[in-house]
Amino acid sequence: MEIQLYRGDITTLHVDAIVNAANPSLLGGGGVDGAIHEAAGPSLLAACREVRAQRYPDGIPSGIAVATKAGELAAKCVIHTAAPNLALIKPNPKILRDCFMNSLYVAARHDAHSIAFPAIGAGVFGWDPQLVADIAHEAIDRWVEINKHISPIHKIIMVAHTDEVQAAFEKAFNLNAVQDIAA
């Protein structure tokens, strides 16, 4: 399993699955959610509305992960997961861990060979970037240990969009960021 750290725009990566740190409504929002919706075009919003109509009429619960088509992105699918919003509830690291692990399970079910993660929860949902990075590292290590012999996933890319997130991922994963990735 290869794990890389990329500093840049997650929407430009050529990976099988891009994880969206989604607003629970699935209807777009700020930060990475807004950037993914904008880059993917209107078909992503239509796919998210379909998920709401068929499975989650009130939006996705925190920790759940669901896949949609990727619209105009280079990825095959977008995996949407919502971190707990710290403006609304107390921190729950287990639910944040579930965001990472469930995203990996959904990606594997969609036969993804590569997946890109943002710092789920570290934006408008108020999580400390270092805590997010540490939880991501723990969750990914655990998932890889359980699934390494059966999963199609062979590349995981952690995507940093700020200096603080980059430093947190570098510390947690003991990696150095790269600017260009041939995915």
**How many other β-carbons are positioned within 10 Å of the β-carbon of residue 27?**
14
Could you tell me which of 137, 141, 62, 128 has the C-alpha nearest to residue 95? Answer: 62
Give the integer Cα–Cα distance in Å for 157 and 24.
23
Instruction: Please report, in tens digits, the pLDDT of each residue of the chain (183 residues total).
Output: 899 999 999 999 999 999 999 999 999 988 999 999 999 999 999 999 999 999 999 999 999 999 999 999 999 999 999 998 877 778 789 999 999 999 999 999 999 999 999 999 998 888 899 999 999 999 999 999 999 889 999 999 999 999 999 999 999 999 876 665 544
Give the integer Cα–Cα distance in Å for 179 and 123.
21
The pLDDT score that the predictor gives to residue 177 is: 65
The pLDDT score that the predictor gives to residue 175 is: 82
Give the integer Cα–Cα distance in Å for 33 and 21.
6
* Residues carrying an active site annotation: 33
Q: 2-173: which CATH number, 3.40.50.300, 1.10.10.10, 3.40.220.10, 1.20.1250.20?
A: 3.40.220.10
Enumerate the H helices of the chain as residue ranges. 31-40, 42-54, 93-109, 129-147, 163-173
φ/ψ of 82, rounded to 5, equals -115, 125
Say which amino acid occupies 121. Answer: G
Q: Are 75 and 15 in contact (CB under 8 A)?
A: yes
pTM: 0.93
Domain range annotation of the chain: 2-173
Residue with tokens 């996705």: 60
Give the integer Cα–Cα distance in Å for 144 and 164.
26
Tell me the three state secondary structure of residue 4.
strand
